[in-house]
Amino acid sequence: MSIQKQIIPLENHPNRDDNSPSMKSLLVSIVAAMLLVGCGEAQQSSPPAETKPVEPVAENEKPEPTTAKPEHPQANRALIEATATGNVEAIKKAIADGADVNVKAVGGGTLLFIAAHEGHREVAELLITEGADVNETNGSGETPLDYAKGETADLLRKHGGKTGEELKAEGK
């Protein structure tokens, strides 16, 4: 008997539990986890930029609080996985736990790239509502709109989303 005839797809296996994850969702979760591993900032070999002296600050002045969210790697990992699988409730929890909706993965793509590619319109809408940048570019100059189709593409356009080519034509 050939090996092809011996292989039974997981989706159609008679002992498969209907509550068990499909191969696609497992693969998406694995890919999302692999992308997250490469989320660190790249090391540059160029010489450091020239720095200007810092002006002294009076002792009674307090620095303004930063608006950037602190890094929460576990929440970011949970957010990436939830985005890849389209789990809106898990996304809301990860955001509440401090995840960054603009966290970048390998290649420079953000969560909107994943939502656009997977066609998760509701996820894309939630990320945009939470402050995701619709025109963030990846390492190739593409935007989430370059990966979106149908309703997800319409949603990105509604929120000012443009393709990488359109941004390039505008000089951005």
Q: What is the residue-averaged pLDDT of the chain?
A: 75
The answer to whether position 133 is within a domain reads: yes
The answer to whether position 5 is within a domain reads: no
User: In angstroms, what CA-CA distances link 85 with 28, 79, 120?
Assistant: 7, 10, 9
The answer to whether position 154 is within a domain reads: yes
Residue 169 pLDDT exceeds 80: yes
Q: For tokens 């990436």, what's the residue?
A: 80
The answer to whether position 8 is within a domain reads: no
The answer to whether position 48 is within a domain reads: no
Pair of tokens at residue 140 = 């190739």
Q: Are 78 and 94 in contact (CB under 8 A)?
A: yes
Pair of tokens at residue 84 = 């890849």
Pair of tokens at residue 170 = 């505008």
- Structural domain total, the chain: 1
User: Which CATH number goes with the domain that contains 150?
Assistant: 1.25.40.20
The answer to whether position 54 is within a domain reads: no
Instruction: Render 85-104 in DSSP notation, one character per residue.
Output: HT-HHHHHHHHHTT--TT--
How confident is the model over 28-85, as pLDDT tens digits? 666 665 555 554 444 444 555 555 555 554 444 444 433 444 478 899 999 999 998 9
Tell me the pLDDT band of 165, cut-offs 50, 70 and 90. Answer: very high
Tell me the pLDDT band of 10, cut-offs 50, 70 and 90. Answer: very low
User: In angstroms, what CA-CA distances link 82 with 12, 29, 44, 106, 131?
Assistant: 25, 8, 31, 17, 17
The answer to whether position 51 is within a domain reads: no
Q: Which residue has the higher pLDDT, 89 or 139?
A: 89
Smallest CA-to-CA distance from 80 within 111, 45, 50 is with 111
The answer to whether position 111 is within a domain reads: yes
Domain of 143 in residue numbering reads as 21-39+70-169
Phi and psi at 63, nearest 5°, equal -65, 150
